[in-house]
Amino acid sequence: MTDPTLADLAGSDTPPETAAEAARRWVAEAIPASWREAAERGGPREVRTVRTPEDYRAWYPAFGTSGLVAPTWAVEHGGLGWSRPAAAAAEAVLRPYHLPRLNPLGLNLAAPVLFAHGTPAQRRRFLPPIVRAEELWCQLLSEPGAGSDLASLSTRAVRDGDGWVVDGQKVWTTWADQASFAVLLARTDPDVAKHAGLTFFFLPMHQPGVTVRPLPHIGGEVEFFETFMDGARIPDDHRIGAEREGWAITQTMLNAERQMVTGAGVGGVERIGGTGPTHLVRLARRRSAEGHAGGWDDPGVRERIVRLWAEDQARRWTNQRIRSTLAEGGTLGPEASIGKVQGTDLNQRIQSLAAELLGPAGIAWDGAAGSPHEFWESAPAEVRGMLRSRANTIEGGTTEVNKNVIAEKVLGLPRDPDPYKGRPWRELPRS
């Protein structure tokens, strides 16, 4: 009898040891030999030296169709239907080969909404292409006049036959230039209170009524975009939930986003901007080896690094518990804001120390006086990570908003007074 393949084991009550062995066979058959050999020599760091991002994207369909991207999901959704222990055993086998999940916004934002609020038909339609990264996703929430006060947004969706027509502008849209679909929150009833008049949609991005323009980062990198909708159309079967239930659905997605930004997502997003504390150790040791002050030989520097390492380890353990809860059918609540506040602040402190450990090389380098693109391309990776991390306490909900969520929904403290509470959106003052 031949050994069972992943397809043979899909949907079954697979023991962890069987899942791990099936994953090992899949690695031997599906991953190129040079990548496997690099992983065996030095793990993910070594893999990066022999595999380009373009190589990985070209190979990714082998991973996307394996079921291992989201093995706890049902087979009809692109997974294997495995238990959490079986999925964890397989993931341990895959870890040295550095197989990040592409399409993180689809996996971490659209998918939780579909599981919590979508219909069976919507899950079958959207989840498999998300897993295979055949349809990339972005998020259309923030607007020029509605950032922290998201519920005051003014993008309108109006019924038109068996669909909707959308007009408005969204900003800070990550990867909008690549996305096939966007999660969209739009106002469908301006005559009720601001939170009550919102509806949640999946917007097809590739249509004449959608225009995307770049918004460069502080360092010149383009990752964010502004999106204009001028008569864009959405079929009604792309509406998620009932009309005017958009705010409650958005909370599901925002909780998932906060966990993604802090490193707990299923899509392989470990941190946004820079690398982890172990890189600080390497930088500090290199600085001491080169005879510079302020390196690993400095007890104060060692203490700072070890404190950050301990905080990051606590974050990782907390996120592992969150992943287990999600895999067992649990949901993310307002407690997600705790991890978001702690994790994003921590990442900024890690990246700031990394840039500091470069010494003068973190202040001036060849190419720094060129164009924004030349600045970004020539900057040390630690400087790029530090600059990118500055957005961490804004994206996914600002730290101030998340502290309000913790205060009101976790600690039960009273809400701030709102003189406009309950009044129709049309009557609210807007910028």
Task: Tell me the β-bridge partners of 138.
Answer: 182
85's tokens: 């222990």
Instruction: Exactly one of 257, 311, 356, 400 is catalytic; name it.
Output: 257
Residue whose structure tokens are 């791990």:
20
Gap between the Cα atoms of 266 and 76, Å rounded: 18
Q: Which helix (H) or strand (E) holds 163?
A: strand 163-174
The closest alpha carbon to 239, from 160, 150, 172, belongs to 160
**b/e sequence 251-290, b meaning 16+ C-beta within 10 Å:** bbbbbbbbbbbbbbbbbbbebbbbbbbebbbebbeebbee
Gap between the Cα atoms of 257 and 269, Å rounded: 11
CA dihedral 343, 349, 352, 354 (to 10 degrees): -80
Q: Say which amino acid occupies 288.
A: S
Q: Is 257 annotated as catalytic?
A: yes
Quick one: how far is CA 349 from the chain centroid? 20
298's tokens: 């400095």
Does residue 102 contact residue 129 with C-beta atoms inside 8 Å?
A: no
Residue whose structure tokens are 């050999």:
37
SS3 117: helix
> Catalytic amino acids?
257
